[in-house]
Structures are given as structure tokens and as C-alpha cells.
Structure 1
Amino acid sequence: MIYKIKEESREHAPLERGFLKFSLSVQSFIDSQIVAGIVLLISAIAAILMVNLGWEQSYEAISALKLTLSLGDWQISHSIHYWVNDGLMVLFFFILGLEIKYECLVGALSDLKDASLVIVMALGGMVLPALIYIIIIWSSGSEAYQGWGVPMATDTAFAIGILTLLGAKAPRAAYILLTGLAIVDDMGAVAVIGFFYTEHIDVQSLLWASLTLFVMFLINIIGLRKPIFYLTAGIFLWWFILQSGVHATTAGLLAAMMVPTRPYANKVWFRRKMKKVIKDFQEVDTPDSPIIENEQQHALAVKAEDIAKQTTAPILRWGYTLDKPVSLIILPLFAFLNAGVMLPRGLPDFNDTVVTLAIIFALVLGKGVGISFFAWLGLKLGVVRLPSGIKISHIIGIGFLAGVGFTMSLFISALAFQGQSALIEQAKLGILFGSLIAGIVGAIILFFAVEN
């Protein structure tokens, strides 16, 4: 993060003044909530263009490129597509797990009265999309029932990015509702991945994974907060879960549950130590010389940084550290390697579009109507309450925005239709068009809700 520092307080490199305005603009853009969605969209469009403009073989060659890790006689070799989906995406699920844990402890899901609306909305956003998908598949005579989990999830980055376009006019409660809704949706999606898209279970590997998780729990409760302990145990957890038959990304979510929430020291200690550091800093100050010439001041500045680390919770600090690499590198990589689909060049046969249509209707109507109806029903029954500044029109808009499934939906479709390339292609089309329609409809509804 770059802080705004007054000109008289800055120390410039030789060419920094001319570059500063540009670098601050770039940093401000990177820090904005919308940038992750933009980078994801660009990655998906790049993949679609490659496939549809004659570079399909090059695209497939990139996806199939082998990457081998070896140590002595041991080696593991997989395609880049595999490493991203089953390896790097673990970090995405780790951040998702951190968000879930945080929201359950102190966020939108920490108070049952406040969380009840989010939970009720999420139930509607999972049940109705799955039901619509199954009904369409059943009525068509298709056998592609395993895709029912595809329209259940919400792409938080895209959905929040679209909401951000409304600017300061959108009520803060709308962001909290949408974030909480997306998190509960994704919890449901992870449960679906773990329980319904697991082909076989290796009990021995699962026992080793359970033991590793228990070790991480012990590391937490004895007060160890160094990242290296959790990283090492997390790698073992990933490996054992990968061997067990449960999808490897589940390791990210489970590892996140073991991350410490308590800092080393409290706020009182922080204030006392920082006052002492600032006092010592002023005592050894030499106003006319830079800090590099004063070793004592430099040591005190480093000490202040260490004090700040001791007083921040690992669950927040680690999440912040990983957020940008995951949202700006890993997720775009995933989108590029999974969104490449041949667009139809005419009206295809109905039997070739059943999964596509089922996912489109499930994402758009299932999410929009399901979330809105369950929220309305909860209000009528008196089991939920609307936050201050939120109207039912906001709920409807948020419901449609939650239909932007993209990343999680692509991920689940690859598991649901594993080895069935034709169905995967249909699913990709449904996810792309369904997410696009849901996003546009949700944005329009929220725009008018905010204006009124």
C-alpha cells in the first residue's frame, strides 16, 4: 500500500518526481475493488479470442504444457492446467477460508440476527438454481444431472466489482450483504465439491490428512504464529488430500480454519511500545540528515514495524499479503486456462445446448428469483430483517448480481463433467452467457434502486 505523503516529507529518487504521478495512479487502480474483475474479464476474453480466431491449437498446447518437479528419484509431472486447477487454486480457497472464518467470528455472519438474512438469501441462491438445472435436464431427457452444482456459487470478485461501478451511491450494507452472500454460497459450493464430486476415497491418505490438520490445530493452540509452520503443514495437508481422492483445493479451506486469529499482543501494549519508540526516535533525531545516516533511527523504525506485526492478527495479515497475487495472477491464470470455448456459429441443435441453457436459466432466474423470494419469505415470516438503508429492490439487484458465477462455476464444471469435453464446452458457454446476463440485469436493477 502506498500512503499519500506530503511533498516536503518525501525523499525522492533521481527520476522519481516525473514517474510518481503515474505510479500512484497505477497503485490506486490496483488497490481498487474493480481491478480484479477487470483482469479476470481480460483473461477470459483472451482465451475465447484465441480459441475462436484460429489459435485453438496454440491455446491447447499452452494448457497441456508439462511442468515437472523432481527431487532425486522422486518426481511429479503434470500439465500447467492441472497445476493451476489443483495446485495454485488452493491459495484461492485458502483466502476464501480466511474470509469465511473472519466473517463468522467478527463479520457479517458473527451475529445470528444479522446473519440470518444472508443465510436465507444464500439458501435460495443455492436451492433454486440447482432445482431449475435439474428440471431442465430432466425435461430434455439428458443424463447430465451431475452439473447441478455448477450454478450454485458466486464469483465474489466480479460481483463486488460490478457493485463498485455504482460508486459511493451504493449503500455500504449492500456490499456487506453481497460479500456475506457470496461467502455462504461458496461454502455451499465447497461442500458440494467435497461430498458430491469425489470419485473415490483413499482412507489411509485421508487419515494422514486428518493427522496433519490436528498438528496444525496444535500449532495454533500452543501459540505459534510464524507462517513457516503453517506453510509446511499446509503442503503436507495438500499432498495427503490430493492422494485421498477429495479435491486438493479443499486443503486450502481446511488450512485456513487453523490460522490464528489472536495477535501476540493487545492494543494497550501496542500504544505503550509505539509511544516509547517515537520518544526514542525523537531523542536521537538529527533533522538535517536522512535516516540512512542514523543507524539508531533506522533500528527504531524497524522496531516499530515489528511492534505493528506483533499486534496484527495473522488471519488478516496473511490474507492481505496473498490477496493481490491471488486476485491478479492466480485467478486470471485460472480464467485463461479454463474459459477458452468455441462460440457457436449459428443456431445449434437443442440437444447440443441443454446444459448451456440449463446453466443460463439457473444462474439468471435461479439466483435472482431464488434469493429475492427467500428474502421476501423470510421477511414475511419475521425470521429476518433488512439492514438500514436496504430496500427489497436492493435485494433483487443483489440476487441477480450473485448469478455471476464465473470462477467457481468454471471450477465446479470441470469436476462435474470430468472427461466429458462436449459437456464441459456446453457448461462454459452457459457460465459465460449466464454470468454476463445476470451481471447486466443486476447492475441495472441496483442502478435504479440507488437512484430512487
Structure 2
Amino acid sequence: MKSKIREANREHAPLERRFLKLFSPVKVFFSSQAMAGIALLISALLAIVMVNTGWQHQYDVLNKLVLAVSLGDWEISHSIHYWINDGLMVLFFFILGLEIKYECLVGALKDLKDATLVIAMAIGGMLLPALIYLMIIWIGGTDAFQGWGVPMATDTAFAIAILTLLGTRAPKAAAIILTGLAIVDDMGAVAVIGLFYTEQIVVSSLLWSGLTLATMFLMNLLGIRVPSLYLIGGVVLWWFILQSGIHATTAGILAALMVPTHPYANKRWFLHKMQYVVKTFRKVDKPNATILESGEQHALAIEAEEIAKSTTTPIIRWGNALRNPVSLIILPLFAFLNAGLLLPTDIPEFKDTVVTLAILFGLVLGKGIGISIFAWLALKTGLARLPEGVHFSHIVGVGFLAGVGFTMSLFISALAFEGHPALIAQAKMGILLGSLIAAIVGTAILLFISRKELALSTAATT
């Protein structure tokens, strides 16, 4: 959390005041939680518009554009689509792994009662969508059973962005529940990717990746907190897992679990050192001189920054450093390169919509009903409790919002239907429609609850 600097304490450049009047609202918007979801939406819409307005060839060329890295006789060459999906998306899974570790240690999954509710909701939100998908595929008589993992996923960025835009119309605890639900949900999705969408295992590469992981774990135990060493370890781990046959993004989760959670120095040391720096800063201060003229004060300010770094935990600091680049660059690129869908000009036959319907109903009904039922069972059996200020109706609204499965659903569909472009197109349609309907239904439920509560409170005061 950044401290707000008052206008009287600012050091302005000659044209900065006028510039800030224009730039400040933009900066606030880009730093908001909703921006990640909006960036994803814009990227997806751009891809769909491009494909459906005569630019499909250029879109396909961009996806297949080859990017090569070579050194002497060694070369690695893949399409832009491959580099994003199997390369840069590892960073998304790395942040996901950091969030999983954080939530398990000190977050929504730390307390057993709170964790039980979230875990129960996530189980219901994975089982029922998969069952609905399989049932519709069976009724439709098609051979696309491998896509059962597609409607199981929740897109955290989109769902949290919707809650953020709702503001006070949704309780703050609802965002915590949704975040915890999405984390457990994503853990299930990662397990599905690793266990069911891996074609062939290369044992030697798997052993090397295990050795790399063990080395990173040893670094953690030894108290090594140098980011570059973990970066090198993560890249090596990604390479061996890529060669092993397991999907490369698994390396992001595993590398994140090795990130240290302990700071270099404790809070008492931080207080003592910062007090010394502030005291010395005041002692050498010359009121009429700028910090540019005082090398000693500049050095003290840098020392304060180093003291702060030594007292913050790598798991939070590294996550914060990567979150915006991943949310605002990598995920939108992924959405753009994967969401391109040629919309049908006429009503397709039922046999050509089975996968679409299976995913749509899985995301909307499977998520909403499955999460609500399992949450109700957990509460009725006393295994879980509702957070303060949250009613069961809020759980239902959150359950439908969890049906927004955009990013992870697209990711799993690309793995499930690899080599089957027609099925991928059906899956994309189901994901887009299902996510849109789930977002509308979830938002409508939460807005209805908010208006009902407002009406009751108004009636009570009068």
C-alpha cells in the first residue's frame, strides 16, 4: 500500500502539475483491480472483431509467426502462440502458485472453518460442471469427452473485477470467499492439466526437473533470497518439465512453492534502523537545500529502501513486482491469441453445438448450482461457517460469478482439443457465452440482494 503524498510535500517538475491533471485519473484507473478484467475483455473482443471483419488471415499469420532463439548451432524455434501459451503463461501460474502458498499460510485457507467453506464450494464447482459436461456429451452422441475439464475453471481476474465494479453492493468478505474459491479451483485445474492432459512422460527429464526443484527447496532452507538464483532455477525447471511431457506451466506453480516466506530481518530491527535513519536524516537536514544537493541525505533515503526490502517477504514482494506485467500484458496477449472465434452466420446443427452447450451449461448451471449445494451442505453439517456480513444468498451470487471461466477454460480447451480446430471453435463459443451469462446472472443476484438489504434498512430506520 503506497502512502499518499500531500501536494505541499511534492517536488514538481516545471510542467508536471498540468500533466498530472490529465494523467492522474488514467493512473488510478490502470492501478485498479478492475483493470485486469477489462484488459482481458478488450483483448478478447479485439480478437473476435478481427477474425469476423476480414482480418482472419492476418490473425492466423500472427498466431503462427515464428520466434527463434539461437546460439551457434543451438536453436529453439516456436510460434508466438506457443511462446505465450507454454512460455510466458508460466509467469501467470507462478503468481497463482504464490497466491496458493500465501492463502494456505496466512490467508483464506489458513483457518479450518473458513477453508472448509471455500474447499467445499470449489469441489462442488468442479464436480457438477464436469458431470454436466459429460452427460450432455453422452446425450449428444459425440466423442469429445476429453473436454470435461474445461468448465471446471474460474477466471479470478474477471470475477474479482466484477466484484470490484459492484463496490459496496457486495460485501468485502465475498471477494475473500471468491478469491479463496478461485485459488482452490485453480489448484484443481492445475492437477487436471498435469494428470489428464499429459500424453507421454520422459522419465529422464522428469528426474532432472525433480533435482532442480530439490535444489530450489534447499536454497529456501539455506535462507537464500536472491531473486536471480530463483529465476535461473525457474527457467531450468521450466525447460526440463517442458521436455518431460508434462505441461510446462506446471513449472510456474512448483517454482512458486519454493519461494521463501521469511524476510531477511525482523520487525524490531526494521523499527530500530528506520528510527536511526530518520533521526540522522533530520540531523543533517538543511531546510533550504534540496536532496539533490545533499549526498548524505540521498544515501540515507537509499538505505531506508534497502532496510524496507530486508524486512519484506520475497513471496509478497516478488508477486507484487510481477502482478501488473502479467495482468496487463501477458494475460491480454494470451486472450487475444486464443479468443479469436469466427462467429456462425446461420444456426448450426445440434451435432455441431454439443461441446458448446456442454461447456455453457457446465459453466453457468454447474458452477452456480454445484457451489451453492456444496456450500449449503458444509454449513448445515457444521463443518463451515459464513463470514460476518455474508448471507447464503451472497454465496449463490458468488457461485454464479465463478462460472466466468475465461482464461483457464481457454487454456484447458487448447490442451483438451489439440489438433481438432472444429472442437476448439465450439469450446471457445461455449466459454464466451457461458462466461458472459454467468457474469450477468451472478451480478444480477448480488445487485438484487443489495437492493433488498437497502430497502430493509430504509424501512427499519423509518
Query: Normalised by the shorter chain, which TM-score bucket?
Result: over 0.9
Output the amino acid matched with 2:235.
Answer: I
Aligned-partner residue type, residue 326 of structure 1:
V
Letter in 2 for 1:83: W
Match of 1:309 in 2: 309
Partner of 2:456: none
**Matches of 1:398 and 1:273, distance apart in 2:** 45
1:402 aligns with 2:402: yes
Q: Say if 1:174 and 1:394, in contact at 8 Å, map to a contact too.
A: yes
Give the counterpart letter for 1:449 in structure 2.
Answer: I
Cα distance in 2 for partners of 1:98, 1:450 equals 33
Partner of 1:264: 264
Structure 2: how far apart are the matches of 1:2 and 1:259? 24
**Offset at residue 21 of structure 1 (A):** 2.2
Match of 1:435?
Answer: 435
Q: Is 1:131 aligned to residue 131 of structure 2? A: yes
Is 2:373 aligned against 1:373? yes
Post-superposition shift, 1:450?
2.2
Distance 2:141 2:275 in 1: 72
Q: Provide Cα deviations, 1:199-233, integer angstroms capped at 9, x if missing partner.
A: 00000000000000000001111011010010001
* Paired residue type of 1:11: E
CA contact (8 A) 1:372 1:395 kept: yes
Counterpart Cα distance in 1 of 2:19 and 2:3: 16
User: How big is each residue's C-alpha offset from its partner over 1:273-302, in whole Å with a ceiling of 9 and x where there is no partner?
Assistant: 000000000011011111011000000000
Give, in whole Å, the separation in 1 of the partners of 2:315 and 2:336.
29
Structure 1 match to 2:233: 233
Contact 1:2–1:24 (8 Å) recurs in 2: no
Question: Residues 169 and 446 of structure 2 are in contact (CA less than 8 Å); yes or no, is this contact kept in structure 1?
Answer: no
CA distance in 2, matches of 1:442, 1:190: 25
Q: Which position in structure 2 is the counterpart of 1:23?
A: 23
CA distance in 2, matches of 1:294, 1:111: 50
- CA drift of 1:114 comes to 1.2
CA-to-partner distance for each residue in 1:153-175, whole Å, 9 max, x for gaps? 10000000011111123211101
Matches within 5 A, 1:157-168: 157-168=157-168
Question: Residue 144 of structure 1 aligns to which amino acid in structure 2?
Answer: A
Tell me the secondary structure at the aligned position of residue 68 of structure 2: strand
Confirm whether residue 94 of structure 1 aligns to residue 94 of structure 2: yes
Question: Within the alignment, does 1:56 sit opposite 2:56 as a pair?
Answer: yes
Cα distance between partner residues in 1 of 2:271 and 2:380: 48
Let me know the Cα RMSD of the aligned residues: 0.9
Contact 1:261–1:315 under 8 Å retained in 2: yes
Which structure 2 residues correspond to residues 20-419 of structure 1 after superposition, within 5 A? 20-419=20-419
- Whether contact under 8 Å (1:359, 1:431) holds in the other structure is yes
> Which secondary structure state, in structure 1, belongs to the residue aligned with residue 292 of structure 2?
helix
Contact kept? 2:129, 2:365, Cα under 8 Å: yes
Aligned to 2:460: none
Q: What whole-Å deviation, never above 9, does each CA across 1:369-409 have from its counterpart, x for those lacking one?
A: 00001111122222111111111110000000000000000
CA contact (8 A) 1:2 1:27 kept: no
Residue identity in the other structure for 2:100: I
Report how far residue 4 of structure 1 moved: 2.8
Q: Any conservation in 2 of the 1:124–1:370 contact (CA below 8 Å)?
A: yes
- Asked if 1 retains the 8 angstrom alpha-carbon contact of 2:103 and 2:180, the reply is yes
Distance in 2 between residues matched to 1:122 and 1:328, nearest whole Å: 27
Structure 1 residue 30 displacement after superposition: 1.4
Question: CA offsets, 1:410-441, max 9 Å, x none?
Answer: 00000000100000000000000000000000
* Distance in 2 (alpha carbons) for counterparts of 1:108 and 1:383: 15
Question: 5+ residue gaps in structure 1?
Answer: none
Q: Following the alignment from structure 2 to structure 1, what is the Cα–Cα distance between the partners of residues 61 and 300?
A: 53
Counterpart-to-counterpart distance in 2, 1:136 and 1:398: 25
Cα distance 1:439–1:405, how it changes in 2: closer, same or farther (>3 A)?
same
Q: CA deviation at 1:13?
A: 1.1
Shift, 1:3, TM fit = 4.6
| Inter-partner Cα distance in structure 1 for 2:275 and 2:448 | 50
Structure 1 contact 104–110 (Cα < 8 Å) conserved: yes
1:433/1:410 Cα in 2 relative to 1: closer, same or farther (>3 Å)?
same
Counterpart CA distance in 1 for 2:330 and 2:126 is: 26
Counterpart AA for 1:171: P
Using the aligned pairs only, state the percent identity.
70
User: In 2, distance between residues paired with 1:26 and 1:272?
Assistant: 38
For residues 96 and 158 of structure 1, the distance between their equivalents in structure 2, rounded to whole angstroms, comes to 15
Amino acid at match of 2:388: S
TM-score by length of 1: 0.99
Shift of residue 22, structure 1, vs aligned partner: 2.3
Letter in 2 for 1:202: V
Aligned residue number for residue 447 of structure 2:
447
- Tell me by how many angstroms 1:343 deviates: 0.9
The CA distance in 2 between the partners of 1:237 and 1:170, in whole Å, is: 41
TM-superposed CA distance for 1:112, in Å, is: 1.1
Distance 1:379 1:285 in 2: 60
| In structure 2, C-alpha distance between the alignment counterparts of 1:426 and 1:33, rounded to whole Å | 31
Distance in 1 between residues matched to 2:287 and 2:426, nearest whole Å: 68
Q: Give the match for residue 422 of structure 1.
A: 422
2:67 is paired with a residue whose SS is: strand
- Partner Cα separation in structure 2 for residue 205 and residue 334 of structure 1: 27
Q: Report deviation, 1:2.
A: 6.4
Q: Read off the aligned partner of 2:366 and give its amino acid letter.
A: G
What amino acid is the match of 2:404? V
Query: Quick one: distance in 1 between partners of 2:447 and 2:37?
Result: 19
Deviations 1:7-36 (A, max 9, x none): 221111121110012222122111111000
Please report the TM-score for the alignment, with normalisation by the length of structure 2.
0.97
Equivalent residue of 1:68, what SS? strand
- 3-state SS of 1:388 partner: coil
Q: Which SS does the other structure have where 1:166 is aligned? A: helix
Matched length = 452
